[in-house]
Structure 1
Amino acid sequence: MTAEPSTGRQNREQRMMAIRAAAGSSGTWDWDILDERLYLDAHFAELCGVDPADGLTGLPTDVFFRAIHREDRARIRIAVAGILGGAELFSKEFRVVAPDGAVLWMHGRGQCEQDADDQPVRFTGLLVDVTDRKRTEERLRIAQSAGGVGTFEHSDGFATMAVSEEFCRVLGLHPAPVLPVQTVNAVMLPGEAPLIPSHLPDAGVSGLEAEFRILRADDGAERWIARRGEVVRDGAGYRLVGVIYDVTKAKELEAQLRDLNDTLEARVEAEVVERHQAQESLRQAQKMEAVGHLTGGIAHDFNNLLMIIIGNIDTVRRRIDASGDPRLMRSLDNAMKGAESAAALTQRLLVFSRQQPLDPRAIDVARLLAGMSDLLTRSITEAVSIQITSTAELWPIEADAHQLENAILNLAVNARDAMDGSGALTVAARNVTVSGAGAKELTPGDYVAIGVTDTGSGMSAETIAKVFDPFFTTKEVGKGTGLGLSMVYGFAQQSKGGVYIDSVIGEGTTVTLYLPRAISEMAAPAEAVEAVVPMGSASETVLVVEDNDDVRAYTVGVLRELGYRVIEAYDGAAGLRLLEKQDRSIQLLLTDVVMPEMSGPALVEAARRLQPDLKVLYNSGYTRDAIMRDGKLEPGVDLIAKPFTFMTLAAKVRELLDR
């Protein structure tokens, strides 16, 4: 074998660098099949534990296979043989053992070049590190199967463990990404087994699914928690991956059921029914809570992405002349519609999981229904007649007007679909006083009942039992998300009300939404005003604190375009330092709610110690309990929900500064 000419080596190096730059890979290879030499770039060579200089001059092909995890090696050899035998593409995920013993997941992609006789002469490709994605998928799979709240991961023999923020919240510990195992096990009540076993190989399988009593570290409250997990073995050893969640309510209901059994002989028939209802309520509550926790976290990340997409589309639309290319404007309009549809779906996820903050006000239901008449007419086919009625002297209710309109529209659209194109739709509101005897799950008191009735096909008892489940739908694939009634259920529960269904097969269905009577007086209806962009001035300073770089860049850009003086910080600690330096020159703090290290509320508390009159505007796509109380915004708290637009942000900031 002769030495490779310098020009050939340079061409190969340039080709490998180009592949790596274009694909953002973790390494590239060039296999000269005729010379049986494998050329590696520096990144791939280091991964295989060889000198990068040797990788550029050529190595035996077995160097590549030795770096592959022994459990994946045979599979990859077969795949490579297939490429050499004529297969077009190589695309496999496999594990690689780095020189330091770390096990990394790689996605290898390549293809084979052939000569004029269809014989393989060169096999080139690249590696992409997908370790983080694989670990995230593993955690998510465990969390979904268990329906849990807090996730954790512990490697055998280590004194610390990786945990989620929800894990810390369940145990009452200060939020941190890594905790000592001793600290976690210290919350267990005397006599309870440790939450994290001391030796994972001996943990077995059945012992990983268990329930424990704990004393929360922050308030000393005794709680029941459940643990679900799985011991994973790889080249680095044993790891325990799992979830924990609070099951105190379930335990309390179980205790109530045991008490009922003490008098079972005297109350057999009544208590069987009551027990069934309690079990169904428990099942529904656990399911909704578990799915809510999962979807809430997803919605937070998704809203940040939508904030970037919607914000930048909005910016481009405002900066393109109205007389510009109409095809470009249509494309932007379609992109905005798609992003807004995704945002609406995210809001539904938050509503049914009761993690969307409500802004309850006293509402005139009769006026609201009258105002929805045109909207309902446009949303329902002409073959369906619509009647809206309200009893005289209808009480005002306490609810979020926007979410109430969404709930009524969802019920109307479901009713339309149930009638298969034609029929009669009735929306009727009446006053109802619920007593203890007929309260169902409602607290006794005064309510306004809003019923939506259709003349459709009706529903069976089995269907009614499932209709409020998230993602359950009787519609064809692609014609419904299964979130409409779940959203209505979540809104009713969060508003301290309820929703109930009466249906007869072949005759129709009535869905009745109960909302509590308002104590406060209704505000006068606002007069319509022309939409004008409310501008700011350079004498008004806004501090923007946001940990997502792209969201922060968009927000700062909008505020500067509006004329404000803007300073920015990437987290709470940096924002607090800026507040200390500015000597009370900042009029408004615009901060994200959920941030690492220091949350938005913690930043606001510290900031107002420095500047008590500082005005604050929160922005978030997922507030959780940070600024909410009983599902509603804390008094005096202002929030702009992600994703928001130029005009929404402009109006909210101007409103706060003028207040």
Structure 2
Amino acid sequence: MNNLNPAFYRLLYDESPVSIWVEDFSKVHQHICELKEQGITDVRAYYHTYPEKFSECLGKLRVVDVNKTTLALYKAENKEQLINSLAEVFRKETMPSMLESVVAISEGKLSFEGQGVNFDLNGNKIVFRMSWKIPGGDPHHLENVIVAIQDLTKLISVRSELEERETLFRCIIEQTSEGMLLVDNSGKAILVNGAMEDLTGLQSQSVVGNYVWDIYDDYISALDLIEEKQTIKDDVLRILNDPHKTNSSFEFRYMDAKHKIHAHKHSIVPINTNKEYMYAIIVTDLTPIYHNEVLTSTMHRISHAVNVTESLEDLFKIIHESMGALIDVTNFYIAFYDRKSNLITFPYLVDEMNEDPSPIEADNDKSLTAQVISEAKTLLLDENGIKGRTDDRNILGVECTNWLGVPLVLSGEVIGALVVQSYNKTDLYTSDDQMLLESISEQIAFALHKKQTDEDKYVLIQAIEQAGEGIIIFSPEGFIKYVNTIFEKTTGYKRVDLFDKPVEYLPFDQNSRIDMQQSWLRVRSSQPWRGKIEMIRKDGAKITLDMVVKPVIESDGRLSSIIASCKDVTYEILREEQLKRTQRLEAIGRLTGGIAHDFNNVLSAIIGYTELAGDDIDAASECSQNLMEVLKSATRAKEMISHLISFSRQEESKTEVIELVDHVRESVRFLKSYLPKSIQIKERYEGENATVIAVPGQIQQILINLGTNAMHAIKHDHGILEISVEPIAFRSKDMQAFPELEQCHYLKIMVTDNGTGIDDALLDHIFDPYFTTKSANEGTGLGLSIVHSIVHSHHGAIRVQSVINEGTTFLVYLPLYNADKWFPSAMAPDENADIAGTENIMFVDDEPMLVNVFRQGLMKLGYKVEGFTDPRRALDYFMKHSDSVDLVVTDTTMPYMNGIDLSTKIMAAKPKIPVILCTGFTTLISAEEAGLKGIRDFIMKPFKIRDMAWRIRKILNKDKED
């Protein structure tokens, strides 16, 4: 290369297509050095401040040579012309690029590149790119610097034209209503128009540069699609590789955040750009078309549902579901307006916050629904509108944030309203939704009205058919046109037996037939009639009917039909009679309690005097034995009185842990004294010490009621009543027959008789209150009902097995109680205990005999006894001699002052005085309540002197120990 002829380089220089200048920068460099010597360091700032200095600097620049391309570019005939015309070439517009070049020289740079503007000799602007490089890389040899000028004018012009065309193209794309996404041949997005952003939400900055299949995978996966859509990646790749470059498209629907459904069509169109294919994805909004199709389909579905749904509720649901394709119906209700009652009801309500369907009055100014109905105008409210109304007056219901209600109008009259609302979105419903609901409200109103009318007819028929009373519909002439099922069951006659028969065909007894004939004349004259009539069932049984007969009068006064309703009151009449007998028995029970008190007082005297007499004679004598029989008889009488009190149910129902066998035995002893001698009682007991938690008196009542029931069932002289108790453990499969039981270990009481048995048809009713097959003088119908109630309250079960003419067995199951230990509730005296004493006892009872007998008995044991029959005198004595009284025994029921008040006053005067309260019968206080009041013991009459002495001694001994 170094051996080439210099002429070659000259030729290369002259013929170069690039404008080449040879310039001398040395004077410029010298000028800059002088400035630096003057302390100027920022050349650029200096020349900006002093532009004339920069012009002076440029004047030191000398052009040494230029090539032919330069002369042609600047329209100069020769080098001299160009050099002499540099002022025309380097104008004011050229100064910025020249300044940067000078700054590069001042900074000692060896090369420079920059862009600027100058002019040819004809005044045409030239946009150029300038570059220079110092030969040899020595910044001090600046005499021959090669400067290359590249003309960019045409390139800039073409680029500007392209930019204008691109602007026009973008404007066209942006103005189109269809969304557009441009994709290059590799599948990357290069342009997204505004419509695309509006329709899909795909933003240009997040899309451009990404692969279209990734864009669509993310886009579609984020949508709430109505139906699943596979990825379009395969479709796009297929189109990119398709040599025929065919179009492709797909459609899908999705639901937005406002529950609005959108339908889009996405078309992929290849574009031939001569060099390579590009692709345009065009998105067309099909939502309006889809909405019209859905609207048509919705109305068709609702119209069809009117004829096929079974109920108005089903139609409500279909309307709700169908409207869900058009609008958000998360909170939706239908209101009906009844003009006669002026009430608005809410037969269908689906709401997240409010579940109250209570009716409201149509003129309620606090109800938005009432406003829609009363004004017959649609109401659309946003959050501010709702808040403003709430501030003016309290709006009914839970406050929402968006509310839309449309009146349902039929033939010019408002029949109700459709309402949707939101509790968390303020702009869920718009005027478009309002127009949509208004466009379908009339059809919905017609559908609802038709279905309601049909259902009203059906409900009326069902009401008649399912009424709790028998219904008969007669023609005006008195022929039977319809009877309901209840009438069929009540009389035994079928509808087909009675249809078109005259009223006289009905099987009334003779007296009732006369009453019906008279009532018929009254009804035919438009007056209702009511009365009780006797009718003979088809099976021959006589029943009593409470019948109401009313005429149906048309608006023109014409008699259209006659409706009779009747209720079987046979059972009610019997129950009223039984109730009266029950009330008499309850009165007897109360009387029993009163008698028991007096009788126990008498027994107490008998027992006391018998004990005194026995103490005065030889225990081995016949007289002593006779007195012992008297004591036994009195004791048995005491037990009988106890049973009578329990039977009269005057005792408190408090549960205890009891040994069941003992209480069953006691009840059987009572039954033996009560049942006829012709009935033999057999007993069998297992589990002697097994316990249950029960009310003792109620256990006795179970046995007495079942025994009494058996007595009435045994109609012959060889009756047998078997009573047994045994433990039983149920297996899991056995428990299926006892769903009311909660554990598996029970005590079973079995009561079996050989009586007449019970008909299978009656077994389901024997535990019903007042149900009885006995005559009026034999029973009240309450015995088995009471047994069932007691067993149920003890968490047990009762079953019955019966065979006609063989007998009946009642099985009672009571939960077994496995207590670790058991304390008897009553204190039993120790026969060997020392019961004598010398203390002072005050005895108070309104029965003189009792005062006398117990005074004698206690004094024989060494006690000093003061007896009183008047509690007032007793209190007066105690107040004067309280220090000398060691213990007080007082009756409960006495004239002037009861034993409770007397005890309270005595203990107030002497707090530590022990008091024993005794009674033959009382409802004033229980043993537990007496203990809470500080009374030391509570004794039921009658009692033996020894028993009383044992209790007195026990209390006094305990006080001495304390």
Superposition TM-score, scaled by structure 2 size: 0.31
Q: RCO higher in 1 or 2 (8 Å CA, sep ≥ 6)?
A: 1
Bigger CA radius of gyration:
2
